[in-house]
Chain A
């Protein structure tokens, strides 16, 4: 019984891995460009938030602002100034990282709700700043932002850029998994758990938070560049409050305690926003209801929910395999993480 469950579980995971690996071959161009690409870059932006929240204890709403710094700068440099797209992207991400250092320095002395409010204010400042500066296209935005030629057309031939972004997301994911086991990363988790204790242990807590914030900013910046490239346009409205909330929703729906949750949440949100309107013009209410249900019922998000269900099933099946002899069934592992 448990054997066949584990087999089925493995089959599902392998099938999902194959679907991701061969997505442009297995599915239509539309699915690749309209569902997979947004899932990847929204997931990347959400992952920057998940990283800060789960390892640094910083729920940041400024990620879209930083996303916008990189995206809008890359767009204006490549379209208006005619810079090579790679160079424009590099400058964009570096600028987002620099602004991230500044934002981080401003926000790093506060925690909890105050941190949330300061980062919200920074996101709003970015939005209104970009809405008012003509060089960044105002609300009309900058159109005709194409990725480097080698990555192909993101709408008509998205295969190459899909693999490029998939590899980038995988690299960021692996980097963050590595980062949290380095001296810097372990200390960051210490800062998350008890800043006062970490100060007493000899750590410059503000500096630590600021640098973590800048790392999150660099990742959000990469997501901003990818968004401009795959949409071939970007505007101030790409970083409005609605988008800020969407990124937060993706991170929370997927699971704020696990990095992979960011992409799961981004996928769920992308599907809902594409197919939701066909069912009802109140689909946004549906997203809100799902968000609420997740926050109340499964704080670990969809990934946490899946892990809890998996643990419970395994516990149940294992206890059946050894009938009564072992006494009470083993308790399932806790949800979330």
Chain B
């Protein structure tokens, strides 16, 4: 196996005595599509926050792209090629769709303090418009993000990760609150990503998650319970127990 894109070793995070993530070991290979599933409160989002650097772990280590980033600030991890989305949309409400996507593209390449526009910006604007097409927002380019519908904000949320052209993308429930048609659109988009991108997705919608993912990690009470292919996961008794609430079986 090639050097993993993500390697978590004995990773833990506690909040005031609550063990949100406990001794997690996880490896994700380059180009892999991985789903992280589990009931609410299983620690999935906390795990994302630890990988992305939004929170610092209580113990253990995080390696991204073969490099120890356990204590690297979140914005520096983005510059290494990581992009993430949030469970509830965090779009830049006062800026247009195009400016949102432009900032996502600019964020990954640097030059944030420039006081002159140059050829680089033309490229990044071009990339922003291409991204808008991919997430079906091409006709909303000039609209302030606060005027978008819930579904459109979800599309922009994913667009912000796409525009950064990352090597690793963490998607936190991208299908949350989407209509059936919108979910299909999202699935198509996720399937269209190139293999140079590694994708980790938290998703409650099994249709989306199990269509996209090749490997599935099930979390429960902050721990990884089982890992396998979608078929193995569907057949696993422990997974059924967790989702049916027979928690002590885990």
* Chain A positions 200-229 with a Cβ under 8 Å from a chain B Cβ: 200-205, 207-208, 211
Number of chain A residues whose Cβ lies closer than 8 Å to a Cβ of chain B: 25
A300 in contact (CB, < 8 A): no
14 A-B contacts, Cβ less than 8 Å apart? A182-B114, A183-B111, A184-B112, A186-B95, A187-B106, A189-B94, A189-B95, A192-B94, A197-B91, A200-B52, A201-B160, A202-B107, A203-B112, A207-B113
Beyond A184-B113, A203-B112, is A194–B92 a contact (Cβ under 8 Å)?
Answer: yes
A84 interface hit (Cβ, 8 Å) = no
CA distance A196 to B53 in the complex (A): 11
A-B contact count (CB 8 A): 95
Residues of A with C-beta under 8 A to B93: 193-194
Cα-based distance from A202 to B75 in the complex (angstroms): 4
With contact pairs A182-B115, A183-B117, A184-B113 given, residues A189 and B75 touching in the complex (Cβ less than 8 Å): no
B82-133 residues with Cβ-Cβ distance < 8 A to A are: 83-84, 86, 90-95, 99-100, 102-104, 106-108, 110-117, 121
Cα A189 to Cα B99 with chains together (Å): 10
How far, in angstroms, from A294 to B133 measured CA to CA in the complex? 43
Answer yes or no: B54 CB below 8 A from chain A CBs: yes
User: A202–B108 contact, CB under 8 A?
Assistant: yes
Cβ–Cβ < 8 Å partners of B108 in chain A: 201-202
Contact mask for chain B residues 186-229; partner A; CB cutoff 8 A; 1 contact, 0 none: 00000000000000000000000000000000000000000000
Q: Which 4 pairs between the two chains have the least Cβ-Cβ distance?
A: A202-B78, A202-B107, A201-B107, A197-B90
Q: Which residues of B contact A (CB under 8 A)?
A: 52, 54, 73-75, 78-79, 83-84, 86, 90-95, 99-100, 102-104, 106-108, 110-117, 121, 160, 164
Query: Which one, A186, A194, A203, contacts B102 given CB within 8 A?
Result: A186
Q: Are B115 and A200 touching (Cβ within 8 A)?
A: no
B164 close to A202 (CB less than 8 A): yes
Does A121 reach chain B (CB closer than 8 Å)?
no
- Interchain CA distance A189-B100 in the complex, whole Å: 10
Given that A196-B54, A202-B75 are known contacts, is A208 also in contact with B92, CB under 8 Å in the complex? no
Within the complex, what minimum Cβ distance (angstroms) separates B97 from chain A?
Answer: 13
A201 and B164 contacting across the interface, CB-CB below 8 Å:
yes
Find chain A residues with CB under 8 A from B78 CB.
200-202
The answer to whether A187 and B112 have CB atoms under 8 Å apart is yes
